[in-house]
Each structure stands twice: as structure tokens, then as C-alpha cells.
Amino acid sequence: MPKIDVYNLEGKKVSDVELKEDIFGIEPNKEIVHSVLVNYLANQRQGTQSTKTRSEVSGGGKKPWRQKGTGRARQGSIRTPHWVGGGIALGPKPRSYSYKVNKKEKRLAIKSILSSKVLENELVVVDAIDFKEIKTKQMQNALTNLKVTGKTLVLLPEKNENVQKSARNIEGVKTTLVNTINVYDLLKYTNLVVTLDAVKKIEEVYA
């Protein structure tokens, strides 16, 4: 069972916590992580691209010239695909790119990334994050004290407006809640700062 230090916002160690083996100590499954990530990105696609077919392009109702006797190739409409201004043959139409992935696979992907964060020392646990007011400097100082640099995801157990708004103006820092974490964010942000309550909530949800 992996054990990790718990810090306060001053960067001092206050205790340690034992993390659940089946969530934070499994062998990361890269194939499942990749599969779930591709699914997430596909589900984000809007699929709103559209082109007009020859039936949707305006004009072209009249046959441009008679069938025979002109010396030119026969034409039925000036809006066929090979004409300039004509319709598009086999072009994209609005569609949905989303598809479903097994719920167990999604959970395994989350566990795999959390376990890899522990293995690579990219998981920082703090006893609590709570500010009396919205102030970016407070969050910046906390991250500096914790020696966290680079892209950082701050994971909270529940909504906290003061913390979330204090972090939103810091480049490369994002806050999210336990019930909204996804593979994309966990992979995009190198460091994961988690409160002790958030760890307990993750262990309840993913047990």
C-alpha cells in the first residue's frame, strides 16, 4: 500500500497517508488509457462541418445548352460537382463522432493515471485548501511553497469558489472536482495537487 506525505499550504509536512493499493498502486494500463483518451476527444468533436450537394446549391435549373449539335460535352446542370460553383460530391455533413466506452475501462484508465502520478512523484497531497477571500497571490504562494511548477491540476472534493477563482488566472493551473475528473485533464497536467478530503472521496468513488 503506497504511503505519501501530506503537506500544509506552507509546504511543511504535517502527516502521511496510506493510499489504497487498488487505486493508487496498480500497474498502469497504457492501452486502456489511450483507448479512453481517444474516446474522450471524439466525444468533444462538434461534428458541425457541412458542404452543399448539387441539390442544395442555388441555380442550375435550366440545361445550359441543348444535348446535341453544339460540339461541346453534354451537360444537364451548371451546378454539378465538376463545375465551378457547383455542389460538392461526397462532402462532409453534420454527424456525431461520439461513441461509448465500457464504464470499467474508464475507471481503470483513471486508476492507471493516478497510479502513474504516484510512481513518478507527481502527486502532492495537502491537508486542506481553503481561502477566506479570492486572491490569486494566495494560490500562487501555496504552489510555490509546495514546490509545484509547470502545468498543475488542483483536485478539490467539492466546489469552493474562493479557491477556484484564485487559481483561474494562473497560467497552466486548473481546478476541478473529484466527480468531474477525466483522462484528458489528468494527462494534460503534469502535477496533481489533491486535498486529503479529495483523496478519501476518490477512494470511495473508485473502490
Whose CA is closest to 128, among 204, 24, 20, 200? Answer: 200
| Percent over 90 (pLDDT), the chain | 89
Confidence at 163, pLDDT banded by 50, 70, 90: very high
Q: Across residues 98-106, what is the average pLDDT?
A: 94
What's the fold here for domain 3-45+98-205? Ribosomal Protein L4; Chain: A; (3.40.1370)
Q: How far is CA 173 from CA 126, 129, 192, 199, in A?
A: 16, 15, 10, 19
Query: Which pTM does this prediction carry?
Result: 0.83
Distant-in-sequence, close-in-space partners of 35: CB < 8 Å, separation ≥ 6: 101, 105, 109
SS3 call for 85: coil
Residue 39: all three cell numbers together: 474516446
Long-range contacts of 8-15, Cβ-Cβ distance < 8 Å, separation of 24 or more: 8/126, 8/127, 8/128, 9/126, 9/128, 9/129, 9/141, 9/142, 9/145, 9/146, 10/145, 11/145, 11/146, 11/147, 14/127, 15/127
- Rounded mean pLDDT of 16-28? 92
Stated as kind and residue range, the H or E segment containing 53 is: none
Domain ranges of the chain: 3-45+98-205, 47-96
Question: C-alpha cell of 147?
Answer: 514546490
Strands 13-18 and 152-156 come out as unpaired
pLDDT at residue 66, as a whole number: 95
User: pLDDT by residue (tens digit) across 27-73?
Assistant: 999 999 999 999 999 999 999 999 999 999 999 889 999 999 999 99
The average pLDDT across 172-180 equals 93
Beta bridge pairs of residue 16: 5
pLDDT of residue 3 exceeding 90: no
Provide the mean pLDDT of the chain.
Answer: 93
What mean pLDDT is predicted for residues 101-106? 94
Q: How far from each other are the two terminal CA atoms of the chain, in whole angstroms?
A: 14
